Structure 1
Amino acid sequence: MALPTELRLPREEPEESGGKPKSPDDAATLRALPGSWQPLGARYHVGADGRPGTNFAVWAGGAEEVELCLFDEADRETRLPLREQTFQVWHGHVPGVGPGTRYGFRVHGRWDPWTGARWNPAKLLLDPYARAVDGEFRLHDAVYGHVRTWPEADVADTVRDNRDSARHVPRSVVVHDTEDWSEDRRPKTPWADTVLYELHVRGFTRTMPGVPPELRGTYAGLGHPAAVDYLTRLGVTAVELLPVHQFADEEHLVRRGLTNYWGYNSVGYFAPHGGYSASGTRGGQVGEFKRMVQALHRAGIEVILDVVYNHTAEGGESGPTWSFRGLDNAGYYRLQPHNRRAYADFTGCGNTLDATQPQALRLITDSLRYWVTEMGVDGFRFDLASVLARAAYDVDMRAPFLSAVFQDPVLSRVKLIAEPWDVALGGYQVGNFPPLWTEWNDRYRDTVRDFWRGARPDVRELGYRLAGSSDLYQRAGRRPFASVNYVTAHDGFTLRDLVSYNEKHNEANGEENRDGSDDNHSWNHGAEGPTDSPSVNALRRRQLRNLMATLLLSTGVPMLLAGDEFGRTQGGNNNAYCQDNETGWLDWSMLDGEWRQLHALTARLIRLRREHPVLRQRAFFSGRPAHPGGLPDLTWFRPDGEEMTEADWYTPGATLAMLLAGDDLTERDARGDTVTDDSFLLILHGHHRGIRFTLPGLPWARRYETVVDTCAEHQATPDGRRLQAGETVTVPGRSLLLLRVCERDGLGQ
């Protein structure tokens, strides 16, 4: 028996209209003139005749008809056919339509999922170029292009659903923002001087003292003087914001009464997420976001967005039809080559945005340029960036997206950070992205974690990571700042949980603790979770100091996770993506207690980086003097104070010392003159027993001064203890020392 491809069900009638959607009172005066096919989206302007209006343009390749749907204040719908089509762009100019108008599209075409065609005019679609989105996504059956109740499982997504989805989907909004950017001054911090701080817009200020309650959890809250002042005093140079593109919640979360708190489920690549707006969602979120950026820029802080162009919130073939699927399914998504009904999934999220298709690539690059040129952001961190580097199937560093970014006069000048992996075969690409790109370095993360928990047989890997990971990044002309060093990030344990739990505890996510990584490289130090043991708690605090100091004293670009500087905990949840509550929010009351000392150490370490160029190298170490008579730029030492040999790198051990020579010509001052820096000896000892360490003598030093000692609980000011070169000192178990060379060759430095 032939199976139907269309099933007519009772239409969902809007409550306000009592039947077929009615037109606004002045609908008779609305008409779509030809307009222009570019730029895409909705652009309000005043014509030469003085009459205002809005031009609408949407790409819908293969469509047979496109209707512009305008909604009045009573949510009544007026449909205007867009008669003009240029280069597959449907367009029209509508006089009298101004900012704040809500709209969407209905697209007619073939329904043939077997060939990838999924047009369905019953579904109201968001404009992919909408600059604001108003309303909520409701996962009613009517928002799916296919009938979800069809009994035959093998054709469940192939029978078209003709119910109107308008009641259950948000509207695009016409935006005409006139925010004044004339006073904005971008910080333009060099990569080598950058200290990243990863935060969640909502979670960062949700309970923050000093931020008015009505602004907490919003863009305005992050731009408030209380929030900006905290970031300035900590010393970070850039905030990396978890996704702020308009996103939606997945059905499995909605059914469990949860939300996608992190936001890695984008559906509007030009629209600031409305849920973070204190100014409403009829366009006010745009100006509010810009004012937040301006406030951070005035404080010298750059704004970097975590962006998710690898997949969209529409999911796999059984997902809802909100935008891209209804405009041109095959034009936006990667479909299986031998089964066009199904999606190629390199993301683990059901679909993959196809950056090899011209229109999808244009969408991504247009979006990126918009956020730079009109929203003021300074760079991007690309979620699952290997997806964007896939050509036909395999990862190719000459893929269209990477090539487009490389030659783009706007995008090639901003900070670009890759999460250099995806979930498919061949997706792990750490160290392989081309120049211009930096990368999240998970090998740094795992190596540092393992060293401090005593899980490394020797110090070979640690040496590479401390010195900028030249084994990964030196080829192809890249620099040490290609490595974004991190110990924790949003995805995984917080720093405190890393030293407090052996196992993940994600029961609150509703997936029976199956979600989240099981490979955490963590250690609870003898008790799982909170404990009253003074010795366990003291060791945990020391390990936090060890981890933080290692991160901020390593060559490369350090990234901190918000709250780690004062002992934030998620109760052992290493996948808090759906925890929009105290688990996911920062608890600012912790700054008033015992964790204040960790915060003080973090701020002091960041200040040390800023004051000493030798701690933020712009080029890889050579092991040779930079000028005649100088010291090698980097020297490695054994505990007996002698230089390490090749064999020493292969000898089991948990102690590593490195001397960074600051007498090399490391930096130029504002006048262009070369300046020198202090030299530092960094000692890391990861074994549980203490060790006797002989401080290197001449030609490296005559005397040393203690700058950081992680055995000390109080770290607000330097230790200042003087030590003689050649002296043998006891380095306690699991501790870190940073010593400044205060005298060499009889000359003070």
Structure 2
Amino acid sequence: MTISFSELDFLKPELGAEFTGDGVHFAVFSAHAEQVDLCLFSPDGKEETARMPLPKREGDIWSGYVAGLRPGTVYGYRAHGPYDPSAGHRFNPNKLLLDPYAKQVMGELAWDDALYGYRIGAAEEDMSFDERDSAPFMVKGVVQDPNFDWDGDLAIRRPWTDTIIYEAHVRGMTMLHPDVPENLRGTFLGMCSDPIIDHLTKLGITAVEVLPIQYFPDDRYLLEKGLRNYWGYQTLGFFAPQPRFMAGDRITEFKTMVKRFHAAGIEVIMDVVYNHTAEGSERGPTLSFRGLDNLSYYRLSPDDKRHSYDTTGTGNTLNVAHPMVLRMVLDSLRYWVGVMHVDGFRFDLASTLGRTRHVEFDRDGGFFDAIRQDPVLAGVKLIAEPWDVGDGGYQVGGFPHPFREWNDKYRDDVRRYWKGDEGMIACVSQRLTGSAVQFNHSDRGATTSINLLSAHDGFTLADTVSYDGKHNEANGEDNQDGHSANHSHNMGWEGPTDDDGINTARARRRRNMMATLLLSQGVPMILGGDELANSQGGNNNAYCQDNEIGWTDWSGRDDPFVDFCGRMIAFRKQHGCLRPERFLNGDNEGPREIAWFGEDGAPMDEEAWGQAGRRMVVLYLAKVGTNGDTGKILDQLLIVFNAGGECELRLPAVNGAQAWTRVLDTGAQAPFEPVAAEETVKVPGECVLAFQSAS
């Protein structure tokens, strides 16, 4: 059958391959190409069956319509233009290019030197030109039918004050779960299987934040070492779900996962990587953006456009300052919300996205302005990883509303406090109350801080109390990779031990840290598996460990700790004073919302705050009614954080509370059993206590 473009004057505003019901409209952006060819392939992607120059160019959009094509059509592009690396141009029509808007990707990248636009090994390598066809080794796009029966699925839009985030890896979460069907392990369908959803709902999780699921290839250097790109922070297809996470060959599996999570009351947040792509530096392969328009898609060195300008540590930086690149990012975000029904995004290395109008970070930059004015995106959950590796990249507290931010200061200070570092009382008090120093400005609320004890990048909670140093030997980098400042403590032995005393102490510290997280103002995020006491054997950089090191170990689950975490989450949900929308003011008129006390029951003064050896602090919190309940205390707690030894505490009288009931003791056999408290109570060493007013 002869395939050709229709002569109809057909122009659609969408980029990508859009099925119209009668055919497919193709459109792609390139400002500097001289010709763009559409290449069609056999259903298995092995044979190129047609190559046709796109007939239309409107501005910098190349397009064409092919009547009769159906969903499932396999395709790619080739771009003609100057090969002039010194001017930033790297066009090479011998290289098949993935459509940046491809909704599905077929196959796995088969690494070969033909994937590079230059001749590897030539003099001045990346200045040379390679004539080999890369199509046999390239992934291809697949035309999609957007129809899916959502059956009334609606966005949950849960308030930040009520949100409990669970960071998880789709593959790692399910590969070792004995009750997930074997054929579904490692997939979207496995992630939304009954055993996983039951676990999350019983735990009390309200939102799952999945590590990158947009299409990413394995890095060549990792495959050569027998490793894989496990975490997925090397995106190549911003619209396509990762094929290895599908049990079959339908992207509707991702939609099914979202729909099932929503039915269980759980929101889905995607970890997205719009700061760079998998093509790497100028010495990387030509897979998509580089071959379509290197000068537009990437930031290049202002001194020599031959070289990439890298603020991400990966070799390249996506040029979101370009309006069409910014449009691609926004189109991608809107696609995942509108078509795939996700509830929010966590932006990897988000400081890079703020480098638009200037090289420096700009909280009023074009990316943030575009998000905030967008009627689709402004209402979803937006979380920034507030740093990158460029100058001035550490921006914790620097992002505009409505962004929330990962707070590594919370992680580090809470770890240091429970480890026993001196002088931590003032620091940890900031973390307990939403990190106001960083976030209480520009009308940002008390839910701005995403509080975490651990995340995919770093030690798990169990490893934080089991290892003094990292053990990344399996990564093949002589243990030189990963963070060295983990603020961890092995409690007397490096790694697993049969010593009952050490194991008891480790379990107690995990309870103290988890209780601290769930008693803190802000939004708590739990690393998937931490509630199970999951270990990575001291590996704090498991980005390449798609194996038992990186996967969640369900066989060693600590059931008492799972129960404790679930009870703590329920405790948080019961007490409104733990979940304020705005930062609390201890000096307000009328009932006090917040106060700090020492062990003598007296308010903390400047001298007490400055005592380096102080290991205990007492926090009072109250939720005070408004409107019809103005001035009425609706909920109040007195919380003791003791990282030191056993001591006595005189319970203070505040806001008229004269009698207290202990409702939490992390050191007790029954941590949540209510116990009436005397005026003076004995505080065990290394524990968290909570008292509820009995009057």
Classify the TM-score, shorter chain. over 0.9
Are the structure 2 counterparts of residues 674 and 607 from structure 1 closer, same or farther at C-alpha, using a change threshold of 3 Å? farther
Amino acid at match of 1:621: L
Amino acid at match of 2:405: E
Residue 648 of structure 1 is aligned with which of 603, 608, 611?
608
- Aligned pair 1:304/2:269, yes or no? yes
Contact preservation (8 Å) 1:202, 1:218: yes
SS at match of 2:20: strand
The equivalent residue for 2:230 is: 261
Amino acid at match of 1:654: R
Contact preservation (8 Å) 1:590, 1:596: no
SS at match of 1:161: coil
SS at match of 2:290: helix
Q: 1: distance between equivalents of 2:242 and 2:73? A: 18
The equivalent residue for 1:600 is: 563
- Aligned pair 1:317/2:282, yes or no? yes
| CA radius of gyration, larger in | 1
The equivalent residue for 1:459 is: 425
Residue 578 of structure 2 is aligned with which of 615, 630, 633?
615
Are the structure 2 counterparts of residues 460 and 682 from structure 1 closer, same or farther at C-alpha, using a change threshold of 3 Å? same
SS at match of 1:588: coil
The equivalent residue for 1:130 is: 102
Q: How do 1:625-664 and structure 2 match up within 5 A?
A: 628=590, 630=591, 632-652=592-612, 653-662=614-623, 664=624
- Aligned pair 1:711/2:667, yes or no? yes
For residues 288-309 of structure 1, the C-alpha deviation after alignment (integer angstroms, 9 at most, x for no partner) is: 1111101111111111000000
SS at match of 1:423: coil
Amino acid at match of 1:605: M
- Aligned pair 1:733/2:690, yes or no? no
Q: 1: distance between equivalents of 2:627 and 2:528? A: 30
Q: 1: distance between equivalents of 2:203 and 2:264? A: 12
The equivalent residue for 1:98 is: 70
Report the alpha carbon displacement of residue 590 of structure 1 after superposing the two structures with TM: 2.4
Report the alpha carbon displacement of residue 209 of structure 1 after superposing the two structures with TM: 3.3
SS at match of 2:334: helix
- Aligned pair 1:65/2:35, yes or no? yes
Are the structure 2 counterparts of residues 696 and 71 from structure 1 closer, same or farther at C-alpha, using a change threshold of 3 Å? same
Report the alpha carbon displacement of residue 703 of structure 1 after superposing the two structures with TM: 2.1
Contact preservation (8 Å) 2:239, 2:336: yes
Q: 2: distance between equivalents of 1:131 and 1:665? A: 49
Residue 76 of structure 1 is aligned with which of 47, 51, 54?
47
- Aligned pair 1:691/2:651, yes or no? no
Q: How do 1:521-600 and structure 2 match up within 5 A?
A: 521-591=487-557, 595-600=558-563
SS at match of 1:263: coil
Contact preservation (8 Å) 1:242, 1:305: yes
Aligned length: 690
Residue 380 of structure 1 is aligned with which of 314, 330, 345?
345
Contact preservation (8 Å) 1:480, 1:620: yes
Q: How do 1:137-536 and structure 2 match up within 5 A?
A: 137-150=109-122, 152=123, 155-280=124-249, 284-285=250-251, 287-391=252-356, 392-536=358-502
Q: 2: distance between equivalents of 1:133 and 1:395? A: 33
Report the alpha carbon displacement of residue 536 of structure 1 after superposing the two structures with TM: 1.1
Report the alpha carbon displacement of residue 573 of structure 1 after superposing the two structures with TM: 0.2
Q: 1: distance between equivalents of 2:428 and 2:247? A: 46
Contact preservation (8 Å) 1:667, 1:675: no
Contact preservation (8 Å) 2:37, 2:52: yes
Report the alpha carbon displacement of residue 674 of structure 1 after superposing the two structures with TM: 10
For residues 56-78 of structure 1, the C-alpha deviation after alignment (integer angstroms, 9 at most, x for no partner) is: 00111111111100011363211
Amino acid at match of 2:618: A
**Which stretch shifts more, 531-540 or 136-145?**
531-540
Q: 2: distance between equivalents of 1:29 and 1:638? A: 80
Report the alpha carbon displacement of residue 661 of structure 1 after superposing the two structures with TM: 2.0
Contact preservation (8 Å) 2:595, 2:621: yes
Amino acid at match of 2:207: A
Q: 1: distance between equivalents of 2:134 and 2:259? A: 38
SS at match of 2:430: helix
Q: TM-score, normalised by structure 1?
A: 0.90
Residue 720 of structure 1 is aligned with which of 674, 679, 682?
674
Q: 1: distance between equivalents of 2:365 and 2:622? A: 41
Contact preservation (8 Å) 2:43, 2:72: no
Superposition CA RMSD, Å: 1.6
The equivalent residue for 1:40 is: 15
Amino acid at match of 2:5: R
Contact preservation (8 Å) 2:96, 2:287: yes
Are the structure 2 counterparts of residues 125 and 29 from structure 1 closer, same or farther at C-alpha, using a change threshold of 3 Å? closer
Q: 1: distance between equivalents of 2:487 and 2:515? A: 18
Report the alpha carbon displacement of residue 211 of structure 1 after superposing the two structures with TM: 2.0
Report the alpha carbon displacement of residue 675 of structure 1 after superposing the two structures with TM: 8.2
Q: 2: distance between equivalents of 1:85 and 1:115? A: 23
- Aligned pair 1:114/2:86, yes or no? yes
Q: 2: distance between equivalents of 1:491 and 1:330? A: 32
Q: Mind listing any 5+ residue stretches in structure 2 that lack a counterpart?
A: none
Q: 1: distance between equivalents of 2:37 and 2:446? A: 52
Q: 2: distance between equivalents of 1:97 and 1:91? A: 15
Contact preservation (8 Å) 2:92, 2:291: yes
**Which stretch shifts more, 198-207 or 118-127?**
198-207
Q: 1: distance between equivalents of 2:514 and 2:627? A: 25
Report the alpha carbon displacement of residue 583 of structure 1 after superposing the two structures with TM: 1.1
Question: Which ranges of 4 or more aligned residues in structure 1 deviate by more than 6 Å?
Answer: 672-675
Q: 1: distance between equivalents of 2:537 and 2:424? A: 32
Report the alpha carbon displacement of residue 182 of structure 1 after superposing the two structures with TM: 4.1
For residues 440-495 of structure 1, the C-alpha deviation after alignment (integer angstroms, 9 at most, x for no partner) is: 01111111000000113141111111011111111100011000000100000000
Contact preservation (8 Å) 1:32, 1:80: no
Q: 2: distance between equivalents of 1:695 and 1:399? A: 50
Q: TM-score, normalised by structure 2?
A: 0.97
SS at match of 2:126: coil
Contact preservation (8 Å) 1:35, 1:91: no
For residues 401-439 of structure 1, the C-alpha deviation after alignment (integer angstroms, 9 at most, x for no partner) is: 111111111111111100000011100000111111100
The equivalent residue for 2:625 is: 665
Give the percent of matched residue pairs that are identical in Structure 1 and Structure 2.
47
Contact preservation (8 Å) 2:271, 2:348: yes
